[in-house]
Structure 1
């Protein structure tokens, strides 16, 4: 089973990217939402260039899906890169107020500049951006305190830009998930597919599930597979594991087993399992 490039670029995302770049001229602060399971793979490579010198609040959502010790490690690493990460579980409403406070933190400087030009104070304009399905809409709903934008556990739900009033001091722009024109790093593409952070039309479930098994072994979670499915992955490739599990328990239905494995991970049934760790600094 050879792995063809995972590829995408739906028309609505191309349109949304153009609109987003135009709206970025009007915003004061950017909330970039990443998937805590894959903070590096879920970071859009063009965001830094798009936002230039605008303040940014870095949000790592789905913090419940990684061990607490790894949260500390990511904090240290991002701080070494000059960024302060804010960890959230938007689904349960955890960490939301710290994000709101960070976004409102730029208001004093905005008001000062406006006063200097003889203008009245106004609310902070923030934009929420990130890959599809990393939890942007759920984050906005928590910030607002009610369901104002559609939020589902699949990519591509938000299709157009949408302003939401959070308070008298903060307005948020909810934008569709933005992904690069193409992703040359297929390892990152596979991680996005495993985490369901790109649409299912971009990949083959069986190829992604086999890669997921190999990755779990690589990051030290082989025992999770062995205890959950009573099949040891250490003596098999991911492709072999998928085939053997299908024929052992599911009448050879490879697609069913592929979706079982991916959904068990995506729903958290396997426990808190990260697929990335902070890069090790070279000496």
Structure 2
């Protein structure tokens, strides 16, 4: 599968990251939100360093876009590595009650220490962290039970940090999506672009859509492309697939065909299709950290 370099780091992200590091000093619990389609690629490599010893609740969101058997495999993989993933679908409100309870449990020690010092309990302060467009704002709205922050299926909607009271027990900090200044794993960068977890200005639609076709073919997701478009991706390159689609359906408009391919995946028209599967269980005993970014062989 061919790859090319994707570069991004909008100015508002850099400013928000500086502000976030300051606010993290006030936070008790961290909710790290991953895209269930790409759990490894959507993990920010700096988060463990930022949060130190603070309790972390791992959230796999957009579970409606991944087959149940793949989610089960991810659960097994994370548990084997000492993690407990909480599965959510913020669009439909699934998994929210369980996540609230997990957040309360993670922050319980804070108020226990306050009681031990003769202080009154206070709401647990949690922050929601993750790449742009993994569904953080939609998740917060579900946790609160009403729309308190802007939410849309595109990156860059949240631009400022904002504290939101969920209940007498929990306060949440909604933070803009955070992305590394650079990502050396080009395959991971492509996955993020395909899922629209980074801004469109960072990549070329035609190259990304062609790479998506080849990636789905290598993952064995041939039928979703064959049934939707009528072409077998194993019989041609991703670029040839895109050009054929443009000639047959879009008056040779390659850019329009590229956007349609990406939209069909992002809107779920192709069905629940993952871009990553858990690495082999044999790797559980390796020295990789629990959420070290995927290598080019992990998809």
With the shorter chain as reference, the TM-score category is over 0.9
Equivalent residues of 2:77, 2:281 under 8 A apart: no
- 1:67-216 maps to which residues of 2 (within 5 A)? 67-216=67-216
- 1:244/1:4 CA distance change after superposition, 3 Å: same
Number of the residue aligned with 1:56: 56
Deviations 1:47-68 (A, max 9, x none): 1111111111100001011111
Q: Aligned with 2:281: secondary structure?
A: coil
Correspondence 1:247 to 2:258: no
| TM superposition shift of 1:226 | 1.1
CA distance in structure 2 between the partners assigned to 1:33 and 1:50 by the alignment: 15
Q: In structure 2, what is the Cα distance between the partners aligned to 1:276 and 1:269?
A: 18
Distance in 1 between residues matched to 2:192 and 2:108, nearest whole Å: 37
Report the equivalent of 1:28: 28
Residue 235 of structure 1: aligned partner: 235
Q: Distance in 1 between matches of 2:107 and 2:123?
A: 7
Distance in structure 1 (CA, Å) of the matches to 2:176 and 2:151: 11
Give the TM-score normalised by structure 2.
Answer: 0.92
Superposed CA RMSD: 1.1
Structure 2 counterpart SS, 1:159? coil
- Distance in 2, matches of 1:32 and 1:106, equals 13
**What's the CA shift string for 1:160-202, capped at 9, x where partnerless?**
0000000000000000000001000010000000000000000
Secondary structure in 1 matching 2:197: coil
Shift of 1:3: 4.9
CA distance in 1, matches of 2:108, 2:248: 63
Where 1:228 maps in the other structure, the secondary structure is: helix
How many matched pairs? 282
Shift, 1:79, TM fit? 0.8
Normalising by the residue count of structure 1, what TM-score does the alignment of the two structures yield? Answer: 0.97
Quick one: distance in 1 between partners of 2:281 and 2:3? Answer: 31
**1:12 maps onto 2:12 in alignment:** yes
The whole-number CA distance in structure 2 between the counterparts of 1:102 and 1:69 is 23
Q: How far is 1:281 from its partner?
A: 3.0
- Aligned partners of 2:4 and 2:186 also within 8 Å: no
Task: Determine the C-alpha separation between the residues in 2 that align with 1:51 and 1:120.
Answer: 25
CA separation of 1:109 and 1:3: change in aligned 2, threshold 3 A: closer
Q: Which runs of 5+ in 1 are unaligned?
A: none
1:42-88 CA distance string (max 9 Å, x none): 00001111111111110000101111111111111101111100011
SS at 2:83 equivalent: coil
Instruction: Assess if the C-alpha contact under 8 Å between 2:196 and 2:266 holds in 1.
Output: yes
Moved over 4 A (4+): none
Helix, strand or coil for the counterpart of 2:235?
coil
Give the Cα separation in 2 of the matches to 1:202 and 1:169. 39
1:257 is aligned to 2:252? no
